[in-house]
Amino acid sequence: MTARPPSPREIVADLVDRVLDVPGSRAAPTAVAWLRTVLDADRVEVHLLDRRRERLHLAAAATRDPASRAVEHHLDVRENPVAQALRAEVVLTYRVGDEEVRHIPLEAHGHTHGVLTVAGPVGHGADDVTTVSFAPSDWRRLGRTLALLLRQAATTTDELELARRTYDYSIAAELQWDLLPPADVATDRIALRALVEPAPRVTSDLFDWSLNGDRLTVALLDAAGRGLVATQVGDLALAALRNARRSGLAIAEQAALADQALWDRHHGHAAVDALLLEIDLTGGTARAVHAGSPVVLRRRDHEVELLDLGAVHEPLGLLDRTRYDAGVVDLRPGDVMMLLSDGVAAARDPDGRVFGVDALAHRLAHTSVPRDLPSWLVGELRARAGGDLEDDATALVLEWHGQASRPEGSGRRDGV
């Protein structure tokens, strides 16, 4: 009697047990080796995205015949078909000769940080009862499960972090990146993506976001100065803002608490430019606290303009017991916002020409995928500078889609 092949759900459940039974440093190799066997695949690979969203780096691979095909260790996100799964946010399936290849986004809770590749005679089991047969939704479930497992494993080992690094980080950058939330999130109502550059040496810029029910809070911070001193100032401001938010305070009170924490520690000798934005995704209202230099571009019906954020306050930390007011902001579902630190507009090329925001506004007006703008912008700034930037530059794009068109939690669309 022929044994029944495991169902997709059984495979996912077994994957969880096998990965959780090994140390975090063995999570990725264990996952790909077992999936290659149970799926009878020619090869299974996991590539992780770097912080610049420029390359996918190999974290683990398993092949039926190691000599049959060289595994690609570093893939350009803009050119390699593996990265299309990231950009299209779907499971991509195609053929290379006699080989069927699937690229599955490693995505969980709206955050995508890599791609699972499965290649070989997988999923052809209409007449062969010994072959596992996956539907597109089954592949997405597998990708999401593996994403969660690898994210959890990364809290116990450096192996996964090192796999996606191709350059050395400064101590200041190490501090900053450990504090930041995921650089992207997507739900039925919002999509957000942020980049901070130069990634290996960032010292003064930070971003933060939190989605709590129907309320989205976003923060962009730029501490004055450079090096570890600026890093520590920004880190204190971010910790204070999070503490205030988690205590249930509104954004004006969040700014006031962070301001006071900086004053108590530095007595006016340290400052942080800040922009806090809070959106009620159900009620359709938005408020902002604008303290210092960050700016916001808003696209509405392909018309782009600088967004009026109300009164501009002094940066956090300059004065004792500053009062901050949250102004009403003209935002509507369907709008696209781009939050920018002053390192963007003030960036200069080797001849001293300022980048400004006009070119960015034009690009925002005509792009069909706003979330790709931070990557484009960082590339433009680095090209103009002839390499890494002299000052930190942060860009955060937020798309507000409006009310969910399908039940919350249904996830993004599947595809082949």
Mark whether 201 and 304 lie in a shared domain: yes
Mark whether 137 and 50 lie in a shared domain: yes
pLDDT in tens, 237-282: 999 999 999 999 999 999 999 999 999 999 999 999 999 999 999 8
What is the residue-averaged pLDDT of the chain? Answer: 87
Mark whether 15 and 140 lie in a shared domain: yes
> Is residue 189 assigned to a domain?
yes
Asked if residue 228 has pLDDT above 80, the reply is yes
> Is residue 93 assigned to a domain?
yes
- Among 136-145, 155-164, 274-283, 386-395, the least confident range: 386-395
Mark whether 238 and 91 lie in a shared domain: no
Mark whether 251 and 379 lie in a shared domain: yes
pLDDT in tens, 100-135: 899 999 999 888 889 999 998 744 443 443 456 788
> Is residue 416 assigned to a domain?
no
Task: Tell which of 134, 162, 190 closes a domain.
Answer: 162
309 or 4: which carries more pLDDT confidence? 309
Mark whether 263 and 200 lie in a shared domain: yes
**What percent of the chain is modeled with pLDDT above 70?**
91
Task: Tell which of 162, 192, 215 closes a domain.
Answer: 162
Query: Tell me, what's the pLDDT at 10?
Result: 94
Mark whether 64 and 191 lie in a shared domain: no
Query: Tell me, what's the pLDDT at 69?
Result: 62
State the average pLDDT over residues 3-25.
92
Mark whether 83 and 146 lie in a shared domain: yes
Query: Tell me, what's the pLDDT at 383?
Result: 80
Mark whether 150 and 176 lie in a shared domain: no
State the average pLDDT over residues 85-95.
81
> Is residue 281 assigned to a domain?
yes
Query: Tell me, what's the pLDDT at 37?
Result: 93
Query: Tell me, what's the pLDDT at 163?
Result: 93
Mark whether 114 and 248 lie in a shared domain: no
CATH number at residue 24: 3.30.450.40
168 or 223: which carries more pLDDT confidence? 223
Question: Which range marks the domain in which residue 348 is found?
Answer: 169-400
> Is residue 129 assigned to a domain?
yes
CATH number at residue 369: 3.60.40.10
Task: Tell which of 162, 194, 229 closes a domain.
Answer: 162
125 or 331: which carries more pLDDT confidence? 331
How many domains is the chain partitioned into structurally? 2
Query: Tell me, what's the pLDDT at 67?
Result: 67
Mark whether 99 and 203 lie in a shared domain: no
Mark whether 254 and 131 lie in a shared domain: no
> Is residue 408 assigned to a domain?
no
405 or 256: which carries more pLDDT confidence? 256
Query: Tell me, what's the pLDDT at 314?
Result: 93
> 3-state SS of the chain?
CCCCCCCHHHHHHHHHHHHHCCCHHHHHHHHHHHHHHHCCCCEEEEEEECCCCCEEEEEEEEECCCCCCCCCCEEECCCCHHHHHHHHCCCEEEEECCEEEEEEEEEECCEEEEEEEEECCCCCCCCCCCCCCCCHHHHHHHHHHHHHHHHHHCCCCCHHHHHCCCCCCCHHHHHHHHHCCCCEEECCCEEEEEEEECCCCCCCEEEEEEEECCEEEEEEEEECCCHHHHHHHHHHHHHHHHHHHHCCCCHHHHHHHHHHHHHHHHCCCCCEEEEEEEEECCCCEEEEEEECCCEEEEEECCEEEECCCCCEECCECCCCCCCCCCEECCCCCCCEEEEECHHHHCCECCCCCECCCHHHHHHHHHCCCHHHHHHHHHHHHHHHHCCCCCCCEEEEEEEECCCCCCCCCCCCCCCC
pLDDT in tens, 273-326: 999 999 999 888 999 999 998 999 999 998 999 998 988 999 999 999 999 999
Query: Tell me, what's the pLDDT at 125?
Result: 40
> Is residue 123 assigned to a domain?
yes
> Is residue 410 assigned to a domain?
no
Asked if residue 205 has pLDDT above 50, the reply is yes
